[in-house]
Amino acid sequence: MKNIVLIGFMGTGKTAVGRELSRLLNMKLIDVDTEIEKSEKMTINEIFERFGEARFRDIETDMVKKVAQNKNVIISTGGGVVLRAENMESLKKKGVIVCLTASPEKIFERISNNADRPLLRVEDPLKKIKELLTFREPFYKKAEITINTDDKNPLQIAEEIIERLKTKGWKK
Ligand code: S3P
């Protein structure tokens, strides 16, 4: 059956929710950023620092193309994957797109304890989060299913996703 593709801004819980979904549905989880780090033998931060965002986006598009060819897997993406229409076209071919959302304040709270978001290494991360969210909102809105994650844990969110998928006739 179709892949489950998790999209959404940084700090909306894609990786943690992906892990829960993988456990509950007994499906393999593929995390695009992790695959990039493995194949480039560098962290996402290092890729941004050494080659810049544009180069990262090219690497991301190549990896998305590759990962999207799988069947019956959960794919967790990086927050900026929606910025290129061709990424979404690849992912949609074999997958149902699920978007996780959260308020800027919640996102700020969640990302504050780790430094591996190069785009948010700025003086005022909350302001940057708001700006990026405003710009990206129309892209995230195109998802088939949208789930708000404020005040929910990954298990609750995963269960909600499964319910919503079932009402849409998704079967494993
Ligand atoms: C990015 C999100 C990150 C990572 C990179 C760029 C973005 O992934 O791909 O830092 O542009 O939103 P997460 O959403 O998993 O943090």
pLDDT tens-digit profile, the chain (172 residues): 799 999 999 999 999 999 999 999 999 999 999 999 999 999 999 999 999 999 999 999 999 999 999 999 999 999 999 999 999 999 999 999 999 999 999 999 999 877 789 999 999 999 999 999 999 999 999 999 999 999 999 999 999 999 999 999 887 7
From ligand 1's centre to the CA of 169, what distance in Å?
30
From ligand 1's centre to the CA of 116, what distance in Å?
9
Tell me the C-alpha distance between 40 and 144, whole Å.
31
Q: Are the beta carbons of 2 and 73 closer than 8 angstroms?
A: no
155 lines ligand 1 (CB under 6 A): no
80 lines ligand 1 (CB under 6 A): yes
